[in-house]
Amino acid sequence: MRTTDKDLLRRSAFCWAMLLLLFGLAGLGHHSLAQTRERKPGLSFGLSAGLFYPQERAFRVLYGTVQIPLGVQLGYELSERIGVLVGYKYLSRSGGTVLIGPGFVQETHPLSFKNSSLRFGATYNVTLAKRSAVFVGGGASYNLFKERWEVVSLSRDGKKFGFFIQTGNVYDLGKRFSILTLLEYTNIPTGKGAKLQEGVNLGGLELALGLLFRL
């Protein structure tokens, strides 16, 4: 990847992060301090599925524009405002590429990509109504990714740290169940010396919907 492309990638990642943060802060600015949620802070378990738009153009060409990651999250609200979370997110995608050159037939060769992400973070929550609260948060992730060329049995993998920032809404259906809507930006740089490809960001923007169960 050329230096100019790397600079553009860094700038676009920074812009996505700032827009997401501003979106969350704008939501926090419209809360009512007089309102309190009906339930007390505690431990919660959540499942989510989302629509993920990869930031890297090459990734979109190989595997498609929209991906569907699945997530599991364990969260604990330390107070009405502050929470911590531990989560796991999994993405598996099939794609294809065309090899061009002497000795190659121009046909599509199947590929597969998998990424497992272990995540740790914190959130800041503000009550909007008795059943609704918005939040902004972020944290670090440890990612294990692997790309496989199915026909020639060739695979490339890597392990990298990344980060995520998020904003969203939690709407309580009752004392036990809540609906989660989430907008999140992830950054997973492959870095120098990567087997997959140097200087590539495997992250992007995700819109997700989930269900939280209060333990």
Could you give the domains of the chain?
3-214 (2.40.160.20)
Report how far residue 21's alpha carbon sits from residue 180's, in angstroms, rounded to the nearest whole number: 18
Q: pTM above the 0.85 mark?
A: no
pLDDT at position 65: 86
> How many beta carbons lie within 10 A of that of residue 183, not counting itself?
18
3: which 2 tokens?
A: 């230096």
Q: Which residue has the higher pLDDT, 170 or 107?
A: 170
Q: Which residue has the tokens 């609906």?
A: 179
Identify which of 23, 62, 45 has the alpha carbon closest to the alpha carbon of residue 165: 23
Flag whether pLDDT at 146 surpasses 60. Answer: yes
Mean of the pLDDT values across residues 51-57?
91
pLDDT averaged over every residue in the chain: 80
pLDDT at position 193: 44
Phi-psi region of 21 (alpha: psi -120 to 50; beta: other; left: phi over 0): alpha
Identify which of 152, 148, 162, 166 has the alpha carbon closest to the alpha carbon of residue 200: 162
Q: What is the pLDDT of residues 69-128, one digit of tens each?
A: 999 999 999 988 999 999 999 999 888 776 655 555 566 678 888 999 999 999 999 988
Report how far residue 200's alpha carbon sits from residue 179's, in angstroms, rounded to the nearest whole number: 34
pLDDT at position 76: 93
> How many beta carbons lie within 10 A of that of residue 29, not counting itself?
9
Report how far residue 94's alpha carbon sits from residue 111's, in angstroms, rounded to the nearest whole number: 6
pLDDT at position 178: 92
Flag whether pLDDT at 194 surpasses 90. Answer: no
pLDDT at position 203: 92
Mean of the pLDDT values across residues 29-50?
68
The fraction of the chain above a pLDDT of 90, given in percent, is 42
Mean of the pLDDT values across residues 141-147?
92
